[in-house]
Structure 1
Amino acid sequence: MIRLHCTKKILAKLPLDSSDRLKRKLPLPHAANDGPESPLSGWHANLLTIQRRSCVLFVHDSTCFPVLATCLTKPDFAELDWWFQDALMNTLLKSGANEAQMDAAAGALSYLTCDSECDRSVQATMNRMGQDLEHQISYDRLSISDLAPYRTGAWLADRPYTVKGVKGAIWPQREMLALLDTIKR
């Protein structure tokens, strides 16, 4: 399982069952290990409304690696597992992950289990990424529907972020690729 800490905005949109999993209809694109917590577990998610479109920004707790899903509709929220896995794998690809790292990520993917517990430090990083995203869209006069979410996630990952309790800055792209190198296949 992959634990997903949701803000109140996104939690209100998610159709969850009694075990806090999404009520989905589509099969997941990658392996779905239904065991204990995955090494990739620990993400925060926030709902962003950009140009009247629903977008979800996911940020990994320990690496601050961002994953972006744009232009979601109401039925897409039931399939958030699918959107998350697709966006994560493609963002890793755009971030320069090698084949071993991609295999490690695919093997560690699992179902999302949602809750409302949030870390304020990760939320602050997520808010900064959201502001950077909105600034890029406004500055470059882009349409959110024309934005490449995987490349944008890689762009957000290739900059330093500060996190409470960590001396210096975290480079999310480097940290996530290093985490993938430690996952046993």
Structure 2
Amino acid sequence: MANFTFIDEKLNGLTRIIPQYFEDARGCFIKDFHKDIFEQHNIPTNFCEETEIVSPRNVIRGIHFQETYPQGKLIRITQGEAYLAAVDLQPDSETFGKWKSVFLSAQNKNELWVPEGFGVGSMTLEEPTTIQIKYTYKYIEEYSAGIKWNDEALNIDWPNVSKYVISEKDDKLPAFREYFRK
């Protein structure tokens, strides 16, 4: 059985993780988390909540974050495929306003560690897609924040689809420059 592989995405702690995976005639075994190994790679292991989101194809969520009580997020796709875009939202960071995208899928089994101080958005690419997220801090609705997924200043290279689904709340999020001018 192979060990975990940690890939530095060159954006202030953002890390893609290839978990331990083994397959034989009985099926497959995936170890997607190991406290000691994650800590050796400077990834927090103090997860306090876990959610699972199931969506049809072309659903866009985000870009979401909690500024007051930031959350680190360990994200994995257990069914389908999604495009994830993580944005460094820490004004004092060298990479503030920079983003990185990855394709995660049940097939490639990769995970994405999104550090505290980042916002993250997703677009589902298959139907259905199941996104599993472990959080380092609990969700507090009153501190929930976001910026427009298609903000011109960020210029994230989203997959080109003719029709997408987005919530009214996400569609009305402020632009990056508008949010950080406050």
**TM-score normalized with structure 1 length:** 0.27
Give the structure with the larger strand fraction: 2
Which structure has more helix as a fraction of its residues? 1
**TM-score, with normalisation over the residues of structure 2?**
0.27
